[in-house]
Amino acid sequence: MTTAGRVRRQTFLDADARSAVLALATAAGDADGAYPLSEHVVLHLRQGGEAPAVHLLAHADRQRDDPDRTPRGRLIGYAHVDVTDPVAGASAEAVVHPAHRRAGLGRALIHAALDVASEGRAPAGRLRLWAHGGHPSASALALAMGFTRQRTLLQLRRSLYAPVPEPRFPSGVRLRPFRAGTDDDAWLALNAEAFADLPDQGRLVRADLHARLAEPWFDPAGFLLAERVADGALLGFHWTKVHGTARDQTPPDHTPPHPHDPIGEVYVLGVAPAAASTGLGTALTLAGLRYLRGRGLDQAMLYVDEANPRAMALYTKLGFARWSTDICFTRAV
């Protein structure tokens, strides 16, 4: 098939379609060395994929020897368009099967995403397009289609075999695990305060928190809270994550396994402004790394905005080094 035929639009995906999208993403991630969909999109897919997101799908022509038994043939292209942010505008992520690239399908998916964003669903009048892994061909396509580079998100990694110093917490501060149902409101308030200038994280609400607590990777023992001993006020947190499965294991939710051993992640690290410059951020980072190492993991990763020199300095000091890049492009619609 040339451009993989028509790009179809849907506002709901059934279980089979969601599985097909996740399998497509895994195939692309295996080929590119970077998973093509963000956590936000994967969560949306696992929980049903209902509106207000828009799903753009392209299937291969049905062939006699096509092992896929769906009437439309195998899914070879997908784009997710989120139209819920009236300030930043719509955002899109697209993936094309490695065997069906260089045939115009990526361009067709992005054109379809621009059409969605231009239909009055994106009040900000622009589309944000994410290229995970900083793949050169994805960046070249975005620039060729009139997008401009807006934001760069770096993935850093660190060996857990290297020494991880004992954390030193400020006087009067203690560490404890998160208690679901008890700490929800206090954590949401702290998260909003710590990430007031980062809406993607700071605007999380109870439903967002509970969606993550329901994920198969969630472990309350790895969700570390720093509280003031005197009154129990939360001052900071380090939410760790273990993702990816060993090659001979199947994930609990039966999605396609990642072809690598588990890796730990500094998932979210936040400190209250009142506790800034006290060393709490460093102590929380070290505590989380020691927890991950205690799980038998040999590597830790994290994401940080390239435009955040303070965070970059902290993580570099603690032994992290650049691994890969995610780029956000924007274009008016």
User: The tokens 């669903």 sit on which residue?
Assistant: 121
- Assess whether the region 8-154 and the region 162-297 belong to the same CATH fold: yes
Confidence band (pLDDT; 50, 70, 90) for 72?
A: low
Q: Is the pLDDT of residue 259 over 50?
A: no
Of 238, 239, 257, 240, residue with least CA distance to 248: 257
Amino acid letter at 30?
A: D
* Residue 320: CB atoms within 10 Å: 23
Per-residue model confidence as pLDDT tens digits over 83-110: 887 767 889 999 999 999 999 999 999 9
- Cα 117 to Cα 97: distance, rounded to the nearest angstrom: 24
- Please give the average per-residue pLDDT across 19-40, as a whole number: 92
Provide the H-helix boundaries in the chain. Answer: 15-32, 39-46, 105-116, 136-144, 184-194, 199-202, 206-213, 280-294, 309-317
pLDDT: which is higher, 324 or 240? 240
Tokens in use for 278?
A: 């006290």
User: The tokens 């992290």 sit on which residue?
Assistant: 320
Q: What CATH number does the domain located at 8-154 have?
A: 3.40.630.30
Q: Looking at residue 123, what is its pLDDT?
A: 57
Sheet strand arrangement including 321-332: 8-10, 54-59, 75-82, 90-96, 126-131, 321-332, 148-159, 299-305, 263-271, 234-243, 223-228, 173-177
Per-residue model confidence as pLDDT tens digits over 105-120: 999 999 999 999 988 6
Q: Looking at residue 50, what is its pLDDT?
A: 57
Domain boundaries, the chain: 8-154, 162-297
Confidence band (pLDDT; 50, 70, 90) for 253?
A: very low
Helix axes 39-46, 15-32, angle to 10 degrees: 150
Structural contact between residues 81 and 90, judged by C-beta atoms closer than 8 angstroms = yes
Mean of the per-residue pLDDT values for the chain?
A: 87
Helix axes 184-194, 206-213, angle to 10 degrees: 110
pLDDT: which is higher, 243 or 32? 32
Q: Looking at residue 124, what is its pLDDT?
A: 65
Q: Does domain 162-297 have CATH number 3.40.50.720?
A: no
Q: Is the pLDDT of residue 252 over 80?
A: no
- Cα 131 to Cα 133: distance, rounded to the nearest angstrom: 6
Length of the chain: 333
Tokens in use for 37?
A: 């969909």
Q: Structure pTM?
A: 0.77
For 310, phi then psi, to 5°, come to -65, -45
Instruction: Show Cβ contacts of residue 313 under 8 Å, excluding neighbours closer than 6 positions.
Output: none
Q: Is the pLDDT of residue 20 over 90?
A: yes
Chain centroid offset of residue 272 CA: 23
Q: Is the pLDDT of residue 148 over 70?
A: yes
Q: Rounded to a whole number, what is the distance in angstroms from the first to the last CA of the chain? A: 29
